[in-house]
Structure 1
Amino acid sequence: MQQTYNPDERIYVELFLAARQLLNLEFFSKSDPYLEIYYSLSGQQETFLGRTETAECNLDPNWEKTFNIEYSQDMIQMLKFQIFDQDRMGREFMGEAQTTIKDILQQKNSLISLQIKRFDKAAGLLICKAVLFKESNHYVQWQFSGINLKNMDGIFGKSDPFLKFYLFSDGVWCQIYQTEYIKDDLNPTWKQFEISLQRLCFNDENKKFKVECIDRHEKGKNNQILGSFETTIDEIFNKNIDSFQLIQPKGGSAGTIKILNKKRIYRANFDDYIKQGTKFNIIIGIDYSSHNGVPSFPDSLHTYIEKNNIYQKALNDIAKSLENYDIKKLLAIYGIGAEPHFSNYNCNSYQTLFPLTGDFQNPQVIGYQEAVNTYQKRLKEIVFKGDLQLEDFIKYVQTVSEHNAGKLIYTIAVILGQEQITDLKEVQNLILTGQKLPYSLIYVGVGNDDFKEIKQINDLINQQNPPIRNNFNFYQYQQDIPLSLLKKHLLNDLPKQVVSYYQ
């Protein structure tokens, strides 16, 4: 099968962040800074990527939270960093800095220092280190313990130790993982965890990585390093070394770190599942609800006054991006929420779901061009009525997915629609309960709405406890974006969602 683009060729940038000489906005202590990061392509809308943890009473923080972004060499990828002081009353702006991913990578060792500005005045330095990597199939799973660790708390207590793991990149040690801390224990056993070899040592079994053992103090302030050691995967697995002396910063032993159990893990990737015979079933639903406007008017999102309205452009680009995921280029096209008047369709009343072909037994067309032609042909044969209700479409997709669960068939379902969904609660519940099925749901927002409620579906999924698989993705269609970039954005999470289902 010829893919629209190979996800295993994707290159990512991981950003490590720190700040120096921040302004102190507190009177009786020091500020508690955290950082928010925003991402955009030149001329496009900003996206909030997330925030770091809060560094308490620290004007020179090294934030532990890192950020992964797919790197596109031919695009200007803008980054905006905003720093805030967290306090009991809320937060206070400490300053911001901006750069591009390319600017960071062009610096020596991919390490850049940026002037932080607060209301046009200097407010410290932001330090950003970028590391390029590809996703890895190879992981290690292991568990560490400490033996006779040095007590840093004197006669009134014992050390509260935890471990930090570091990747060595371009002369800089970058923190990549941290265990939990164990209170008052000089012989701790930390929880088992796994980490990819790419992240640990760039898949090079002879490349050293570093482990630090640290004594945690109250709220993480003024932590003390007990000691550290460096080793390689080759030493651990091929030479079977599992015990390491912790060397203190000024020399001397601070105890022993021992690996209790260890194993290598190979995790299949998206391309592996394709090679195993996984096929894709593509279903596209188009919103014909009255909120889109009457198509005989030029301001309608479905207007036929213009030759190529925004829905037609979106369908053309989305279908063209998807069609190669099916070897026969079959695309099932459905209308959502309207009254169809097709000569070959025997129901002319309001329908929450209907095939644009007029035949539920044969809802598929061949290729993106036929999909667009079918859309154009049917536009004057549809009476726009009612609100956008997605429950029936999603139930249909989930029924198809459940039917194909044992057949190595994965469904890619796409909704082209505006924002005003009247059964949003039902939609959310269906998405939450259907996360174990072999399908992904991509909502493509059409028009200039902010799509706030739809974007929050991802937040709802990520807040579930215990965690659940996320097979939902939102993308707001933009007419001027290159098709090659659209493919990357549209299918950004699809490989991960396919892998998470089969694993």
Structure 2
Amino acid sequence: ICLESVMMQFCGNKLDKKDFFGKSDPFLVFYRSNEDGTFTICHKTEVVKNTLNPVWQAFKIPVRALCNGDYDRTIKIECYDWERDGSHDFIGEFSTSYRELSRGQSQFNVYEVINPKKKGKKKKYLNSGTVTLLSFLVDIEVTFLDYIKGGTQINFTVAIDFTASNGNPAQPTSLHYMSPYQMNAYAMALKAVGEIIQDYDSDKMFPALGFGAKLPPDGRVSHEFALNGNPQNPYCAGIDGVMEAYYQSLKSVCLYGPTNFSPVINHVARYAASVNDGSQYFVLLIITDGVISDMAQTKESIVNASCLPMSIIIVGVGPAEFDAMIELDGDEVRISSRGRYAERDIVQFVPFRDYIDRTGNHILSMARLAKDVLAEIPDQFLSYMRTRGIKPLPAPPPYTPPGYPTQI
């Protein structure tokens, strides 16, 4: 696959004057040619107001989008004078190719803008101005997997909601009900997401926390307790180990409240804050039945964590309204706390009920859930690495068992 992007900048010179009172408001439209001779728009520049000598802003475009990886394919560029009502005036056009453009700023990349209608009518017509390529920079796009191959470790932490709003685990109506016949909603969400994430976690050891329960022996309420009962070492072996610890703690703790998210977010943030070289990235998976009690503190924790190598996935189980979760997701409105905005979007929220297959086929719903839950992680991960200028390390050479000749 062609993973290059290119950054280009153009300027215009002596373009035709189209406006009666002013000059022109020029912009460019780039088209990729298709196999069947048609053209597809792949980029539009911004409009530069009232000038015949515009300098457009540099823009970045994947090489795939520009020429589908074929360096000699025609790229058509049209120049228009912008009109408020959308009836933009055509100034002229020219063609080039990626190979041509890749020569960078040179006499080869000064293009005459031609209007065929004018050319046909006026004998003395030369052109409608020129467009010049000012700069051309190629950038190889690195992917999430390039970092994984280079040794970046993804560390997953699981946090499960043990508040009383989930219902008494001994009752079949409870979201934590332990039925001998099928998994409850928490277990299903945990298994679905866990089976996918454990492929990215190199040591397959997951810290697993609970929040909102009274703990034995003294009944104190905790918002970040180790599911395996060992606060010094909350790690569980694989998702099966997490499931086991979850079932065990259901038998020993007492569901209580309130539903506080900030302690588990801060717990993971403390680890993430100690690693800023790109060697590790932390993902917190919170499974909850909904209503948050410490919304202000949670927002503050998320804003603080948005500059750390970490992401948060929230899976909502049960029938509650999840308005607060949607707000935390930050897809629509960037999350803020006390006037500070999150540096980047690090929260992905998914309501589990949207994935329960109506036919009762839980395997299907688990696969769909896992796919959507992890959809934003690579982009969140890459946005952290890019803004910090952290490049992936080269992948180590393939392992050769001793005694075998290495391949030349």
Q: CA deviation at 1:347?
A: 6.1
Q: Is the 8 A contact 1:243 1:258 kept in 2?
A: yes
Mapped pair 1:338 → 2:209: no
Q: Is the 8 A contact 1:462 1:468 kept in 2?
A: no
Mapped pair 1:224 → 2:89: yes
Task: Give the letter aligned to residue 91 of structure 2.
Answer: L
The CA deviation string for residues 287-346 of structure 1, in whole angstroms up to 9 with x for no partner, is: 1112111112211111125642111111121211211112221111100111122xxxx7
Q: How does 1:228-307 map to 2 (within 5 A)?
A: 228-238=93-103, 241-250=108-117, 252=119, 253-305=127-179, 307=181
Paired position in structure 2 for 1:39: none
Mapped pair 1:455 → 2:329: no
Q: Is the 8 A contact 2:291 2:324 kept in 1?
A: no
Give the whole-Å Cα distance in 1 for the aligned partners of 2:179 and 2:264.
29
- Structure 1: runs of 5+ lacking an equivalent: 1-133
Q: Relative to structure 1, is the Cα distance of residues 422 and 179 closer, same or farther in structure 2, using a 3 angstrom cutoff?
A: same
Q: Relative to structure 1, is the Cα distance of residues 466 and 473 closer, same or farther in structure 2, using a 3 angstrom cutoff?
A: closer
Q: CA deviation at 1:204?
A: 2.1
Paired position in structure 2 for 1:54: none
TM-score by length of 2: 0.83
Give the whole-Å Cα distance in 2 for the aligned partners of 1:234 and 1:439.
40
The CA deviation string for residues 38-64 of structure 1, in whole angstroms up to 9 with x for no partner, is: xxxxxxxxxxxxxxxxxxxxxxxxxxx
**Which residue of 292, 299, 310 maps to 1:428?**
299
The CA deviation string for residues 345-377 of structure 1, in whole angstroms up to 9 with x for no partner, is: x76400111110111221111111121122112
Relative contact order higher in (CA < 8 Å, ≥ 6 apart): 2
**Which residue of 194, 198, 212 maps to 2:64?**
198
Q: How does 1:302-451 map to 2 (within 5 A)?
A: 302-305=176-179, 307=181, 308-341=183-216, 348-406=219-277, 408-451=279-322
Query: What is the count of residue pairs matched by the alignment?
Result: 363
- Structure 2: runs of 5+ lacking an equivalent: 120-126, 358-363, 387-408
The CA deviation string for residues 144-203 of structure 1, in whole angstroms up to 9 with x for no partner, is: 11011011113x221111112223345443323222211110001111121111222222
- Identity over aligned residues, as a percent? 29
Where 1:151 maps in the other structure, the secondary structure is coil
Paired position in structure 2 for 1:53: none
Give the whole-Å Cα distance in 2 for the aligned partners of 1:282 and 1:456.
23
Task: Give the letter aligned to residue 197 of structure 1.
Answer: V
Give the whole-Å Cα distance in 2 for the aligned partners of 1:460 and 1:264.
33
Task: Give the letter aligned to residue 280 of structure 2.
Answer: I
Q: CA deviation at 1:405?
A: 2.3
Give the whole-Å Cα distance in 2 for the aligned partners of 1:259 and 1:270.
32
TM-score by length of 1: 0.68
Q: Is the 8 A contact 1:298 1:306 kept in 2?
A: no
Give the whole-Å Cα distance in 2 for the aligned partners of 1:324 and 1:175.
39
Q: Is the 8 A contact 1:229 1:244 kept in 2?
A: yes
Give the whole-Å Cα distance in 2 for the aligned partners of 1:269 and 1:415.
26
Q: CA deviation at 1:398?
A: 0.8
Measured on the aligned residues, the alpha-carbon RMSD in Å equals: 2.3
Higher strand share: 1
Q: Relative to structure 1, is the Cα distance of residues 347 and 140 closer, same or farther in structure 2, using a 3 angstrom cutoff?
A: farther
Rg larger in structure: 2
Q: Relative to structure 1, is the Cα distance of residues 444 and 467 closer, same or farther in structure 2, using a 3 angstrom cutoff?
A: closer
Q: CA deviation at 1:238?
A: 4.1
Where 1:492 maps in the other structure, the secondary structure is coil
Q: Relative to structure 1, is the Cα distance of residues 395 and 197 closer, same or farther in structure 2, using a 3 angstrom cutoff?
A: same
